[in-house]
Amino acid sequence: MIRVLTLDLVDDASAIAEYERWHRPGNVPAPVLAAIRASGVEEMEIFRTGARLVMTMTVAPGFDPAAKADADAADPDVAEWEARMGSFQRALPAAPDGSRWTPMIPIFRLSDHR
């Protein structure tokens, strides 16, 4: 299953460059990567246009976003990463309370059409 989420970054070129630097291979802390994988996320990609980010996650059957959020909040390495990234991120108006990433609702799939 693929989940898609979005948010905005602070609209500042140097902040955006720093955010991207943190996401380059070797810069994301190993415990953060391990927590993502342990939650059932099999693949994750983040795309940017301007200050808007879109994240796709391929997740295993049974993936539970609430359980992932609880585990992340209890993990000091992940909490530190989230706080650091939060200084760059801005939630969209439709974001659920307490969340910066907003789930996107699928509305079209080519394979559903003849």
Residues 6+ apart with CB under 8 A from 83: none
Taking only the tens place, the pLDDT of each residue in 55-98 is 999 999 999 999 999 999 999 999 999 999 999 999 999 998 88
Taking the model in full, what pTM does it have? 0.92
Q: Domain count of the chain?
A: 1
Task: Read off the CATH number of the domain in which 13 is found.
Answer: 3.30.70.1090
Taking only the tens place, the pLDDT of each residue in 31-56 is 999 999 999 999 999 999 999 999 99
Is 72 inside any structural domain? yes
**What is the C-alpha separation between 76 and 32, in angstroms, rounded?**
10
Is 70 inside any structural domain? yes
Crossing angle for the helix pair 65-74 and 76-86, to the nearest 10 degrees: 100
For residue 89, what are the domain limits?
2-94
